[in-house]
Amino acid sequence: MAGLIRKMAVGASLLIGCLITAWLVFPATTAAALIYMNNASAGLTAKVVSTELGEVHYLEGGQGETVLLVHGIYARKEHWVELARALVKDHHVIALDLPGFGDNAPLADDQYLLSRQRAHLLFVMDALDLERVHIGANSMGAYVSTLLAHAHPEKVASFAYIGSPLGVPTPVQSDMDAARAAGGRPLVVQSFEDFTARNDWLSPNIPYVPGPILRTWAAEEVATGDHNARVWDVVHQQSDVPTVLELAPSLSMPSLILWCQEDRIFHVSGAEVLRQTLPNAQMTVLEGCGHVPMLDRPDAVAERYLEFLATLPAE
């Protein structure tokens, strides 16, 4: 018996040693395994669809009416997993990597114009045979999705602004407004230090993400830093489209605004401005979160979003 216990102890030590080695030495491989397990635990499967723009990666799970989750600039589909974990119980959920972002191949600079991103989103919806969806979107993704909802309202059953959208000027200047006025681009990552600083901009309470995943995502952003800087300029300086606020009066579908009190990117004063402009909107201001509430407070976001969806007539 004593010999068996010693063998088990040695085996456990070797296993732990291998795991630690993989954690530290092979972060990309470990990250992929951890992401796979987390997706699976949330009822999501990673998939790929071919489009006019090449392969597009997405997560899918659940059954029922479709909720399409659309991320912001430099973000990725995995940022929706904790919210999707609650949604898949009663809904068919798809979380995209927008073309040119996440696990998708980079695009030519001009393909990041907001008008072209709207067309890209439609390409993906068509490739996935999505006729009509509930859209939940964040930041730049909310702007792109608003453009789509304006052009194709028949495809959007409801719209949820999950976190503040790009395209809503706020009465009170945000920290990001001040930084941009001084020539800064705090969300553009060109070094590992930038990656950490950018996360502080996005969230007052950074949620835990395993080290291998953070290191892998940071390395990917640093490697494409110059490209990302150009994307920022294309989106913010070269996109000649109406603002979300200008388009809002045309959006007659039921809408939900979830805006965080501590958002440093777009000041919370914009929430009421948007609510007054949308014809059929509900609004909730959340405490203790920043620009990405689906990461900061996924349970609170899920509870409010599910309440909103439950008020809608069945499609």
Can you give the pLDDT at residue 150?
A: 98
Low-confidence ranges of the chain (pLDDT < 50): 1-24
Can you give the pLDDT at residue 296?
A: 93
Handedness of CA 78, 80, 86, 88 (dihedral sign): negative
What pLDDT digit, counting tens, does each position of 264-291 carry?
999 999 999 999 999 999 999 999 999 9
Give pTM, 2 decimals. Answer: 0.92
d(CA 199, CA 67) in angstroms, rounded, equals 26
Can you give the pLDDT at residue 16?
A: 35
Can you give the pLDDT at residue 7?
A: 37
What pLDDT digit, counting tens, does each position of 93-107 carry?
999 999 999 999 999
Can you give the pLDDT at residue 13?
A: 42
Can you give the pLDDT at residue 26?
A: 52
